[in-house]
Structure 1
Amino acid sequence: MSAQFSIDNSSTLNLVEHNLHLVQVSERRLLFHIPTSSLFELDGVTAGVIDTLRGDVNSADKWTSPELIRHLSDNFTAQQIADTLRELMALEVVSDGSPLTEEIAAKSVDQFPLNTIVLNVNTGCNLSCTYCYKEDLDKPSAGKKMTFETAIQSIEMMLAESPDEDLYNIVFFGGEPLSNLSLIKSVVAWCEREIPARGKRVEFTMTTNATLLNEEIVTWLAEHNFGLSVSMDGPKAVHDKHRITVGGQGTYDVVSKKAKMLLAGYRRRPIGARVTLTKGTTDVVGIWDHLFNELGFAEVGFAPVTSGDVSYFNLPDDELKQVFDNMKALGEQYLAAALENRNLGFSNLHQLLTDLHEGHKKALPCGAGLKMLAVDHKGDLNLCHRFTGSDLNTFGDIQNGVDHAQLGDFLSQRLDRSDTGCASCRIRNLCSGGCYHESHARYGDATRPTYHYCDLMRDWVDFGIDVYARIMAENPGFIDQYILPRRAN
């Protein structure tokens, strides 16, 4: 790297502050390289260069390469300093005033490698969760079920749009998807027959409230290697607060019973619980303990509600901070267990560690619109499952395919970080502006970044960096054993 990068000895050197973030982990100083989401431990010469260039905020010192070398020459050789400067300039952590590489070179999207289709198989649901965001949700008797023809045409559309993908994922969603189990079985049979015949692979995923499960269904799901997630909010008092039947009765007793049966009999893939945190519910540690230790879920993930359509359920600022504080408290338990090579199945931290380990760089917040679209019962293409029934424009339909121009314009608006707080934010390539649906619900504009808990997210990422660095220093095998295999699930 250093041999390919020359230094202009007359140019003033400056730190590119929006490309680096320094983190202290015990006695170690780390550099989080923001453009690549990569983490480096600072050696003495690198720390010396950065500290000198950063200096006192009121300092009038201007450093050129020769001046910097002379300043640091008591502790390092000229060659060490010059080599380090070249490396930092190649990383664009140090600049001599030359134009910087545009971090997101593409300002428009014209390729859509669609490999996931979400089938909204029934708008009907046998529950009436008070905080539900689904705008097309119906009572069971009024549910609009997707037809077999619509489902297959959706999958054929995906295959036609992205013929070069090797693996496709079919997601069954609702309402409660198991309320249209006959369709799901027919679609799975078709996919397992037709997609391998084209030299491709297919996987199936479902999120369920678990109330309709029985042993026969669990056996069938296992036979077809479903990836499963159960919506469950914690112990009885917490769960029954909002996850109720259409008649207003709590559902914990039936859900916990069905979940235990599922977890006892399903061994194909790890099963996770998805927890929705609303106003008045912040006990992350207690909820995790119940779902992980008492019920036996492999992972537990938390989704704080901050921009729901019914503002009453949104976590106020003080409770949202408490949620993040409690997530860090659980993260401390996770770290202690990881150093003993035990996995506590905390999905939120799992995902952050995965992104840090892989140097994950996201130009967009998720695969919605790019790799994934959701089909409603009419056959319209929605940005994701959260938007079916909403007033956000759809992006084509299964008869005519994806409206590439409209979808590309939408995604390009989010790609453009100019004049946004994301342009210089240190977690810009991990957060990428946040959830489209949160933006739509809060601002009425799905392309606008979410700003209302940026400081909490930055603090959470700093915590994750600390945890990751300590695991890599003291038990790196944990990453290989528990983090990397998640990509295969």
Structure 2
Amino acid sequence: MINETLNSKLMKFKPFFQDLKKDNHFYRLGKPFETSQKKYFYDTGTGKIFQINENVYVVLSCLFDCDDFDSLLELDMEEDTLESALQEIKECIDEEHILLAPPVTCFSGPHVSALENYLQYNMNQLTLEVTERCNLRCKYCIYQDSHNDFHGYNNRDMTFETAKKAIDYTYPRVEEEFFLAFYGGEPLLNFKLIKQCVEYAEKLVVDKKLGFSMTTNAVLVTKEIAEYLVEHNFVVLVSLDGPEEIHDENRVFQDGSGSFKHVMRGIKHLVEAKEKNHSKDESGDTLYFSLVASGPNLVEKYNKIQDFFDNTEWLPKPVTVNASYVSYGRTAEEYLEPTSLEDKSYREDKSIDPLFSWSVENQRDANTDKKLFSNGQMRKFLHMIHRRDIRPLPMENYYFNGCCVPGSRRLHVNVDGNFLPCERVGSVPFLGNVDSGFNMKAIQNHYVNNFMEKSVEYCNNCWAVHLCTSCYIDCFDEEKVDLSYRHSGCRYIRYLLDQSLSLYHEILEHDPESLMELNEIIAK
């Protein structure tokens, strides 16, 4: 440890580093991370990543964890070693322009510069909530009355008049591809409306690519329905939690009985219909699965789920699964500084995302047909690192994290005809409705100006601001921006990005060729 008397050799660096910090925080400027063998540093401003030695790693970690230059004097490090590490960092700053990320004062992008243009000419997917009814009563469903952010179970259906207005409004604003998605409740409870919409859209869309999709529990999928969906090239996302014993824990009928056998029967109809009509479809995979994990014994369940997908021979291989955890609704909380003890404890807790940890521990050869059921999600995490912006100088502009241009890429229309950013949001301000169209004033006010004003305070403190995938979910109540709901999500995203940085570089060290498949992913 360095003597309590401030050493002049080391103090000569203090003004330089304090100037980097300015009136902000060291930890917003980058992120030290490590693999099992090496140490690295991610620079916020440029997106560059450097391999660094142990001493530089210790110094940077100390600066970012303690947010104070004088904390370096408490390190168990020889003066000459510390001085050498500081000199190396300074030289890299001068040569590579790192640790110079400008403060976040506003966001840039089409939200600000081209909002009306995007909503007029750049729409892509329309999702219709064709019913609020459901034939199941899944124990963790977000539509339960106990959930604080979504409507409860209702008996309301969308009318064809409302659906037609939504299609008519959206179609002229689509440039090349128009995707029409059906959502619920359980959408097959209003299959009549789905068929009406498909027939109408196929007559209307003659000069653009048209596609259909549906999210369903598959209980009501008959042979005839499956053949209809395949005939019209539907992409189908089926809710399936794995083998019977796991699936039936939560996905139950109103009388409490399990739905597994009914779901599997529906899936089999879809698979058989696809095989029967294989020559008619050249678009690739059309069957995907959505899985919700719950309970204390998740590792044991993941193993059983993997065995289920591996050994159910008639399921398509490899399967693509979107796995998530139970949503308990919005919870307001205070913002925790990244240097707080609570945040540090959170970052070091490997149980925060058990699926991520399980996936890392059970990695399979990239060439095998039997992928981990979580492979799709892991590729998304790795892709966030792979496709990051890398610049020679610090980037001047900051964008709206992972927020879409609301209503552009994906527009959700509820049974009443009100516009929402997507089907995943709960109580948020409406974007407009099928009768009056987009409410540009409300969108500009809530989703651009107010959101940006509230967000920059926290984004300015965050090393992950250029990598962030946080969107409008959990950022609003019914009338206004309320970021107290988002703080836990921000902490979780930083955790995932930290883990993803380490995993990406672990793979880069041992099997770099396997990362090349990430070049084929198109970010949406």
State the TM-score, normalizing by the size of structure 1.
Answer: 0.75
After superposition, the C-alpha distances for 1:200-259 in whole angstroms (9 at most, x for unaligned) are 323222111011113333333233332221112233233222222233321112112322
For 1:450, the equivalent position in structure 2 comes to 486
Change in Cα spacing, 1:167 to 1:128, as seen in structure 2 (3 Å) is same
> Deviation at 1:381?
1.2
For 1:42, the equivalent position in structure 2 comes to 51
For 1:289, the equivalent position in structure 2 comes to 306
Letter in 2 for 1:24: E
> Deviation at 1:18?
0.9
For 1:354, the equivalent position in structure 2 comes to 383
Letter in 1 for 2:377: N
After superposition, the C-alpha distances for 1:6-50 in whole angstroms (9 at most, x for unaligned) are xxxxx83536541311221233333323357x4623367x96998
Q: Secondary structure at the match of 1:337?
A: coil
Q: Secondary structure at the match of 2:462?
A: coil
For 1:213, the equivalent position in structure 2 comes to 221
Q: Secondary structure at the match of 1:452?
A: helix
Contact residue 33 and residue 39 of structure 1 kept, 8 A = yes
For 2:157, the equivalent position in structure 1 comes to 144
Q: Distance in 2 between matches of 1:264 and 1:484?
A: 32
Contact residue 335 and residue 471 of structure 1 kept, 8 A = no
2:176 pairs with 1:166: yes
Q: Distance in 2 between matches of 1:51 and 1:469?
A: 19
Letter in 1 for 2:522: R
2:303 pairs with 1:277: no
Change in Cα spacing, 1:291 to 1:431, as seen in structure 2 (3 Å) is farther
Letter in 2 for 1:204: F
> Deviation at 1:349?
1.8
Q: Distance in 1 between matches of 2:401 and 2:240?
A: 28
For 2:107, the equivalent position in structure 1 comes to 104
Letter in 2 for 1:122: T
Q: Distance in 1 between matches of 2:131 and 2:306?
A: 33
Change in Cα spacing, 1:31 to 1:204, as seen in structure 2 (3 Å) is farther
Q: Distance in 2 between matches of 1:51 and 1:449?
A: 31
Contact residue 454 and residue 483 of structure 2 kept, 8 A = no
Contact residue 278 and residue 304 of structure 1 kept, 8 A = yes
1:248 to 243, 256, 259: 256
For 1:114, the equivalent position in structure 2 comes to 123
Contact residue 130 and residue 243 of structure 1 kept, 8 A = yes
For 2:245, the equivalent position in structure 1 comes to 237
For 2:502, the equivalent position in structure 1 comes to 466
For 1:487, the equivalent position in structure 2 comes to 522
For 2:167, the equivalent position in structure 1 comes to 155
State the TM-score, normalizing by the size of structure 2.
Answer: 0.70
Letter in 2 for 1:414: F
For 1:194, the equivalent position in structure 2 comes to 204
After superposition, the C-alpha distances for 1:324-374 in whole angstroms (9 at most, x for unaligned) are 352133222453433879632413322212222211786244437242221
Q: Distance in 2 between matches of 1:272 and 1:457?
A: 24
Change in Cα spacing, 1:136 to 1:102, as seen in structure 2 (3 Å) is closer
2:154 pairs with 1:133: no
> Deviation at 1:288?
3.6
Letter in 2 for 1:468: Y
2:354 pairs with 1:332: no
Contact residue 403 and residue 470 of structure 2 kept, 8 A = no
1:416 to 449, 453, 457: 453
For 2:441, the equivalent position in structure 1 comes to 405
For 2:147, the equivalent position in structure 1 comes to none
Where relative contact order (Cα < 8 A, 6+ residues apart) is larger, the structure is 2
Letter in 2 for 1:26: S
Contact residue 124 and residue 175 of structure 1 kept, 8 A = yes
After superposition, the C-alpha distances for 1:106-148 in whole angstroms (9 at most, x for unaligned) are 6964344432211011222211223322345546xx342331x
> Deviation at 1:53?
11
For 2:323, the equivalent position in structure 1 comes to 302
For 1:4, the equivalent position in structure 2 comes to none
Q: Pairwise CA RMSD of aligned residues?
A: 4.4
Percent of residue pairs bearing the same amino acid type: 21
| Structure 1 range deviating more: 369-378 or 285-294 | 285-294
Change in Cα spacing, 1:193 to 1:356, as seen in structure 2 (3 Å) is farther
Q: Distance in 2 between matches of 1:172 and 1:127?
A: 17
| Structure 1 range deviating more: 261-270 or 397-406 | 261-270
For 1:426, the equivalent position in structure 2 comes to 463
For 2:38, the equivalent position in structure 1 comes to 28
Contact residue 236 and residue 287 of structure 2 kept, 8 A = yes
> Deviation at 1:397?
0.9
Change in Cα spacing, 1:241 to 1:445, as seen in structure 2 (3 Å) is farther
For 1:314, the equivalent position in structure 2 comes to none
Q: Distance in 1 between matches of 2:62 and 2:491?
A: 26
Q: Secondary structure at the match of 2:218?
A: coil
Contact residue 306 and residue 438 of structure 1 kept, 8 A = no
**How many residues in Structure 1 have an aligned counterpart in Structure 2?**
444
2:16 pairs with 1:12: yes
Q: Distance in 2 between matches of 1:206 and 1:438?
A: 26
Change in Cα spacing, 1:189 to 1:453, as seen in structure 2 (3 Å) is closer
Letter in 2 for 1:286: N
Q: Distance in 1 between matches of 2:185 and 2:196?
A: 19
Change in Cα spacing, 1:279 to 1:463, as seen in structure 2 (3 Å) is same
2:186 to 159, 164, 176: 176
Change in Cα spacing, 1:235 to 1:105, as seen in structure 2 (3 Å) is same
Contact residue 40 and residue 50 of structure 2 kept, 8 A = yes
Contact residue 434 and residue 449 of structure 1 kept, 8 A = no
Unpaired runs of 5+ residues, structure 2, are 1-14, 74-82, 144-149, 279-283, 332-344, 390-397
> Deviation at 1:277?
3.4
> Deviation at 1:488?
8.9
Q: Distance in 2 between matches of 1:450 and 1:212?
A: 36
For 1:227, the equivalent position in structure 2 comes to 235
> Deviation at 1:287?
5.5
Change in Cα spacing, 1:393 to 1:102, as seen in structure 2 (3 Å) is closer
Letter in 1 for 2:310: N
Letter in 2 for 1:275: L
After superposition, the C-alpha distances for 1:36-85 in whole angstroms (9 at most, x for unaligned) are 7x4623367x9699869959842689xxxxxxxxx769x99xxx986x43
Contact residue 364 and residue 414 of structure 1 kept, 8 A = no
Q: Distance in 2 between matches of 1:171 and 1:354?
A: 26
After superposition, the C-alpha distances for 1:258-286 in whole angstroms (9 at most, x for unaligned) are 22443455474153321223455734523
Letter in 2 for 1:331: S
Q: Secondary structure at the match of 2:352?
A: helix
